Amino acid sequence: MKLLIIILTLFVLVFFIYYFFFPYSNKNSNVCLCVIAKMENIYIREFIEHYKSLEVDKIIILDNNNEDGERFEEVIYDYIQSGFVIIENYRNCKKCQIKSYKECYYKYKKHYEWIMFFDVDEYLILPNYKNIHEFLEDEKFKYFNIIHINWIFYDDNNLIFYDNRPLQQRFIRPRHLIDKNFTNIYKKSIIRTVFRKIDFFDAHLQ
C-alpha cells in the first residue's frame, strides 16, 4: 500500500512539473492566427497568403457572415482542404468579436504556443525577421507572454474606386506621414497560451 502511495505521489509530482514548467512541449506547432471575418471574400485570399508567407502554422477564421451571405469556401477552398485554414461557425452572430476571440483562445491554446488576434485588414510586417517564428523566438520576448503590435494606420490614399491590385500596393502612405497631428492608440495582440483565463476589453485596445 505504501509503495502504491509513493508511486502515485511521484506520478502527480512529475505531472505537475511537466504541466507547469514545460507548457509548450505537447503543442504540435508554434503559432496560429485567429481572425473574425464578414463579407471579406474579396480580400481573404490575399490575407491568408500574406500570413502563410510568414510561416504561420494555422489560420482560424471565425466566419461571421450572415446565414445566407458569402462563404469562404467559395474563394479559399484549397486552403481549407489542405488543413491550413479552419472555419469556425459564427454566422449570424451579433457583436461577437470579443466572445469569439476568447472561445478561439480556449479551444486552441493546448495546441499552439502563441495565438495572434488580427483582422483581415491588418497585416503584420516583419522587415528584420525571416518569419513569425524567428520574430517570436527573439531573446527580447523570452520573458513576455503578450506582445502588443501598434497599428500603422492608412487612409484611402486618395483612391476613390476599387482596383484589384494587392492592398500593399494600393495603400502606401501611412496616415502619420500625411497628417502630422494624427496619433494612433490602437494595437492588436499576440498572446502566449500560458493563461488559464483571458479577457479582451476592446478588440483594438486589448
CATH of the domain at 77: 3.90.550.10
Query: Number of folded domains in the chain?
Result: 1
DSSP code per residue over 6-71: HHHHHHHHHHHHHHHH-TTTT-SEEEEEEEEESS-HHHHHHHHHHHHHTT-SEEEEEE---TTS--
What is the per-residue pLDDT for 180? Answer: 66
Domain residues for 88?
26-150+188-192
Is there a domain that residue 89 lies in?
yes
Lowest-pLDDT range of 10-19, 72-81, 83-92, 120-129:
10-19
> What tens digit of pLDDT does each residue of 61-76 get?
999 999 999 999 999 9
In Å, how far are 35, 54, 109, 197 from 72, measured between CA atoms?
Answer: 13, 21, 24, 30
194: amino acid identity, one letter = V
Does residue 28 or residue 145 have the better pLDDT? 145
- State the DSSP code for 184: -
Residue, of 169 and 89, whose pLDDT is higher: 89
pLDDT at 177: 65
Q: Is residue 40 part of a domain?
A: yes
Q: Please indicate, yes or no, if residue 93 is contained in any of the structural domains.
A: yes
